[in-house]
């Protein structure tokens, strides 16, 4: 690894920390924990979309979002992306 690559990695980490600080500023502690769990389970693109929605919503209401509000946002967000298979049996 050369110095330029190391600098690039450090800049990415710094941006990520700033992003997480801003997220923590916009949601309460329990909601932040929940979002960190989502971050570990879902792909990074999905986490980014969810947090962008949370940023927009928190700007609209101009306060920290509660865990309950974040849960509702996550339910709405993932209910659209839920591709469930249903199998039904018809008996004669």
pLDDT category, 84, cuts 50, 70, 90?
Answer: low
Question: If you write DSSP's letter for every residue of 19-80 in order, what string do you get?
Answer: HHHHHHHHB-HHHHHHHHHHHHHS-HHHHHHHHHHHHHHHHHHTSPBPHHHHHHHHHHHHHH
90 inside domain: no
Is 34 part of a structural domain of the chain? yes
- Is the confidence at residue 81, as pLDDT, over 80? no
Q: Are 36 and 28 in contact (CB under 8 A)?
A: no
* pLDDT of amino acid 86: 63
Residue span of the structural domain in which 17 resides: 3-77
State the total domains in the chain. Answer: 1
Express each pLDDT in 2-24 by its tens digit.
Answer: 889 999 999 999 999 999 999 99
Nearest to 32 by CA among 60, 77, 79, 71: 71
């Amino acid at each position: 690894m050369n110095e330029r690559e190391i600098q690039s990695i450090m800049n990415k980490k710094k941006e990520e920390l700033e992003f997480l600080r801003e997220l923590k500023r916009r949601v309460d502690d329990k909601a932040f924990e929940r979002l960190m769990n989502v971050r570990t389970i879902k792909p990074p693109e999905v986490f980014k979309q969810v947090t962008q929605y949370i940023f927009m919503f928190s700007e609209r209401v101009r306060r920290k979002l509660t865990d309950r509000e974040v849960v509702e946002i996550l339910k709405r967000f993932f209910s659209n992306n839920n591709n469930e298979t249903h199998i039904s049996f018809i008996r004669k």
